């Protein structure tokens, strides 16, 4: 689409009606909204029995008497791994492909449900032999390979909650997370393929273990890249030595519906990451239901591909638990989109005839930048539905996605949810909803959302900006923050009182009543769909011996949504050094690397500005709003509440002199 016609479409306030053909076969139905509205619990009980096989049926759908701590499907028992694997084999679908694995180097593996059943059984037996049992925590620090999925399912099978830590996190971040969850086993790989190179992975586990104070008894290591690794005898075990010879059958034990399934750390407003934890029955129900009605997965005919990393919640819910519970066939790709060239994803779509693609706006904007001609080289006609998740998708990117990837025919579902919500909450239903580019539109059937003003009053007038809240408990809601119930109450259930779950996102309605999500209202940034906390990066910067004080803001960025911009005040000794010609640049580089070391490369600031002062109110609070103005190159806003109003002009001067 030319620039001109794109802006015409944008001005026209275009919405896209579902085609009759799509609507006729869609899993989502318009009647579901009314059914859920009329009987919230009855609706969810029906989904739980439809999508999940229970070893013991539940007695009570929802127990909210201990609010805000929910219990769903009380008295019910099930095994998640049985639901994701064994029951499909029992139903005669053992030959169906579960995973088409595509390694970055071009190596492939086809894993059927029958294969997966054996692999999970072997891994469950191996974990048992290491003394891992029900309730024990297992840390998983692995790339996008089948063993990662197998390990997660083996943990679920044993009732051992897993804590997956994204492979881009550093040894420091790994250490904090392993200790917080008191994991007794770590599963990792020697290395991972990234942009054609083998990057070490186990090395970070070793570094984390060198801290001494850790609860880990064993480290189980998959050989992936052949990278040399250090070895701690007695502690470290090769996967192929332990797992390969295990019996390939394993009896799955039913777990209580509220048994913890996993912990996943995410950034909050304070420096310490929160261990969000999810349980068994409610989580699986909502993952499977949404994967069916929102992604419209038809397991017998679709090839589904979610491009998220399994280290984030999207990978948990929409690579592992949702699609496998539904018995879907999916693609698992190990590498980056531009290896060996920028058309790699589209070749994968063509090769496996992918019909459903679920990805993030930051990827879509990157593809827009790379050029329309790249996807045009591949046959994308197998696609029939596109999805987006992780951050607001701007209408331009939405329309580009629809035209250049979706061939002007695929519906796009823009899905809003969070690590905390466990599964999709706000999204159109394909085949039902008229689609509005840029808006996640409407709470799905069974979910209730509202927008509140500063005083906590719900409103519906269009274009007024407020706070998104959820007004009824939902099955896949977090059950708390690991080891910190008070923080759970305070973070999510106190801002507007105990009736409202406070999501931390700004939102508005348009004239048609669609919900538009407007980004975080707290000190959480969203960089390429990754959640990062300003406080966490600030404390990483301050832990450097040369830094006295730091302030971090998320500045708008065309590709990544937001970018990390830091302002630091140096300690006196360091100021003198930095003044020497050429030293300032080295120091900035040193600080960026320091953040990568403390948290991980994803948290590296795009820019670091060395300043003499930070803008503070009289009560000493840093005014990030003003720093954001600087970082986004805007006229600086109202400075009257600053203790010293000259600070901002000093910072601006520093900017223009290139400090």
What residues line the site for ligand WTA (CB under 6 A)?
A: 266, 312-314, 389-392, 414-419, 440, 503-505, 517, 519-520, 526, 531
Q: Check the annotation: does 197 bind a ligand.
A: yes
Q: Check the annotation: does 345 bind a ligand.
A: no
Q: Check the annotation: does 418 bind a ligand.
A: yes
Q: To the nearest whole angstrom, how small is the minimum distance from the Cβ of residue 517 to ligand WTA? A: 4
Q: What secondary structure does DSSP assign to 312-370, as a single string?
A: SHHHIIIIIIHHHHTT-EEEEE-S-TTSSSTTHHHHHHHHHT--EEEE-HHHHHHHHHH
Greatest alpha-carbon span in the chain: 74
* Residue of 144, 139, 123 whose CA lies nearest to 192: 144
* Residue of 142, 415, 388 whose CA lies nearest to 287: 415
Which residues make Cβ contacts (< 8 Å) with residue 407, sequence separation at least 6? 380, 381, 383
Q: Check the annotation: does 634 bind a ligand.
A: no
The nearer residue to ligand WTA, 189 or 388, going by C-beta atoms, is: 388
The nearer residue to ligand WTA, 72 or 416, going by C-beta atoms, is: 416
The nearer residue to ligand WTA, 140 or 154, going by C-beta atoms, is: 140
Q: To the nearest whole angstrom, how small is the minimum distance from the Cβ of residue 629 to ligand WTA? A: 21
The nearer residue to ligand WTA, 440 or 651, going by C-beta atoms, is: 440
Handedness of CA 266, 269, 271, 277 (dihedral sign): negative
The nearer residue to ligand WTA, 258 or 414, going by C-beta atoms, is: 414
Q: Check the annotation: does 505 bind a ligand.
A: yes
N-to-C CA span, the chain:
41
C-alpha dihedral, 179 to 182 to 185 to 190, nearest 10°? -20
Q: To the nearest whole angstrom, how small is the minimum distance from the Cβ of residue 417 to ligand WTA? A: 5
Q: To the nearest whole angstrom, how small is the minimum distance from the Cβ of residue 232 to ligand WTA? A: 33
CB atoms within 10 A of CB 25: 11
The nearer residue to ligand WTA, 364 or 440, going by C-beta atoms, is: 440
Q: Check the annotation: does 329 bind a ligand.
A: no
* 80 neighbors 280 (Cβ within 8 angstroms): yes
Q: Check the annotation: does 195 bind a ligand.
A: yes
The nearer residue to ligand WTA, 440 or 564, going by C-beta atoms, is: 440
The nearer residue to ligand WTA, 205 or 449, going by C-beta atoms, is: 449
**Cis status, amide bond into 195, omega within 30 of 0:** no
The nearer residue to ligand WTA, 189 or 533, going by C-beta atoms, is: 533
262 vs 163: CA distance, rounded Å? 6
Q: Check the annotation: does 194 bind a ligand.
A: yes
C-alpha dihedral, 640 to 646 to 652 to 657, nearest 10°? 170
HSE-up of residue 511 (Cα within 13 Å, Cβ side): 2
Query: 């830091």: which residue's tokens?
Result: 566
424 vs 437: CA distance, rounded Å? 18
Q: To the nearest whole angstrom, how small is the minimum distance from the Cβ of residue 115 to ligand WTA? A: 29
Q: To the nearest whole angstrom, how small is the minimum distance from the Cβ of residue 526 to ligand WTA? A: 5
Q: Check the annotation: does 346 bind a ligand.
A: no
- Distance from CA of residue 545 to its chain's centroid? 33
The nearer residue to ligand WTA, 194 or 520, going by C-beta atoms, is: 520
* Residue of 629, 617, 89, 21 whose CA lies nearest to 327: 89
Q: Check the annotation: does 520 bind a ligand.
A: yes
Which alpha helices (DSSP H) does 559-638 contain, by range? 572-579, 583-598, 624-631
Q: To the nearest whole angstrom, how small is the minimum distance from the Cβ of residue 23 to ligand WTA? A: 23
CA angle 232, 235, 241 (to 5 degrees): 95
Q: To the nearest whole angstrom, how small is the minimum distance from the Cβ of residue 490 to ligand WTA? A: 17
Q: To the nearest whole angstrom, how small is the minimum distance from the Cβ of residue 527 to ligand WTA? A: 11
Q: To the nearest whole angstrom, how small is the minimum distance from the Cβ of residue 505 to ligand WTA? A: 5
Q: Check the annotation: does 414 bind a ligand.
A: yes
Q: Check the annotation: does 235 bind a ligand.
A: no
Cite the annotated binding site by residue number.
194-197, 314, 390-392, 414-419, 505, 520, 528, 531, 542, 544, 547
User: From the annotation, which residues make up the binding site for CoA?
Assistant: 194-197, 314, 528
The binding site for ATP consists of: 390-392, 414-419, 505, 520, 531
List binding-site positions for Mg(2+). 542, 544, 547
């Amino acid at each position: 689409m030319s620039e001109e016609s794109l802006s015409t479409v944008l001005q026209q306030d275009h919405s896209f009606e579902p085609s009759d053909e799509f609507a006729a076969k869609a899993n989502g139905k318009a009647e579901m909204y009314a059914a859920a509205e009329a009987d919230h619990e009855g609706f969810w009980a029906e989904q739980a029995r439809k999508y999940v096989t229970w070893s013991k049926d539940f007695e009570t759908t929802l127990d909210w008497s201990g609010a805000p701590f929910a219990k769903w499907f009380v008295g019910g028992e099930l095994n998640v791994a049985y639901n994701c694997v064994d029951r499909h084999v029992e139903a005669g679908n053992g030959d169906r492909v579960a995973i088409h694995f595509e390694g970055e180097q071009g190596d492939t593996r086809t894993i059927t449900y029958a294969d997966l059943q054996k692999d999970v059984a072997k891994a469950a037996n191996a974990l048992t032999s290491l003394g891992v049992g029900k309730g024990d925590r297992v840390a998983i620090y692995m790339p996008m390979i089948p063993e990662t999925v197998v390990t997660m399912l083996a943990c679920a099978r044993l009732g051992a909650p897993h804590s997956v830590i994204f492979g881009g996190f550093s040894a420091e971040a790994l250490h904090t997370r392993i200790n917080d969850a008191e994991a007794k086993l770590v599963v990792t790989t020697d290395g991972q393929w990234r942009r054609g190179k083998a990057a070490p992975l186990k090395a970070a586990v070793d570094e984390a273990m060198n801290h001494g104070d850790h609860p880990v008894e064993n480290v189980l290591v998959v050989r992936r890249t052949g990278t040399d690794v250090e070895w701690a005898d007695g502690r470290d075990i090769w996967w192929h030595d332990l797992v390969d010879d295990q019996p390939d059958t394993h009896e799955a034990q039913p777990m209580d519906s509220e048994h913890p399934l996993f912990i996943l750390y995410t950034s909050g407003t304070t420096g310490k990451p929160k261990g969000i934890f999810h349980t068994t029955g409610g989580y699986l129900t909502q993952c499977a239901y949404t994967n069916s009605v929102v992604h419209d997965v038809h397991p017998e005919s679709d090839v589904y591909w979610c491009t998220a990393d399994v280290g984030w919640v999207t990978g948990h819910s929409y690579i592992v638990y949702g699609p496998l519970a539904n018995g879907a066939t999916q693609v698992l790709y190990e590498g980056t989109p531009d290896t060996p060239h920028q058309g790699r994803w589209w070749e994968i779509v063509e090769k496996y005839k992918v019909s459903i693609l679920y990805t993030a706006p930051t990827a879509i904007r990157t593809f827009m930048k790379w050029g329309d001609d790249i996807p045009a080289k591949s046959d994308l006609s197998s696609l029939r539905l596109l999805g987006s998740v992780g951050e607001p998708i701007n209408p331009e990117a939405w329309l580009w996605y629809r035209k250049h990837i979706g061939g002007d025919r695929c519906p796009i579902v823009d899905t809003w949810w969070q690590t905390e919500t466990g599964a999709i909450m706000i999204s159109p239903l394909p085949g039902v909803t008229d689609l509005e580019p840029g808006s996640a539109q409407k709470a799905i059937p069974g979910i209730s959302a509202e927008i509140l003003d500063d005083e906590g009053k719900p409103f519906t007038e269009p274009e007024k900006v407020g706070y998104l809240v959820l007004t009824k408990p939902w099955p896949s809601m977090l059950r708390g923050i690991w080891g910190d119930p008070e923080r759970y109450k305070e973070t999510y259930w106190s801002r507007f009182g105990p009736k409202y779950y406070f999501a931390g996102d700004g939102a508005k309605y348009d004239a048609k009543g669609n919900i538009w999500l407007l980004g975080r209202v707290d000190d959480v940034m969203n960089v390429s769909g990754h959640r990062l906390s300003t406080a966490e990066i600030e404390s990483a910067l301050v832990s450097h011996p040369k830094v006295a004080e730091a302030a971090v803001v998320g500045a708008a960025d065309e590709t990544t949504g937001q970018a990390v911009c830091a302002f630091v005040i140096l300690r006196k000794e360091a100021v003198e050094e930095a003044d020497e010609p050429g030293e300032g640049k080295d120091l900035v580089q040193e600080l960026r690397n320091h953040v990568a070391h403390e948290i991980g490369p994803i948290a590296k600031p795009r820019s670091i500005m060395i300043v003499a002062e930070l803008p503070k109110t009289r009560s000493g609070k840093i005014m990030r709003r003003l720093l954001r103005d600087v970082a986004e190159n805007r006229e600086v806003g109202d400075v009257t509440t600053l203790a010293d109003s000259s600070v901002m002009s000093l910072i601006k001067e520093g900017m223009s002199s290139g400090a």
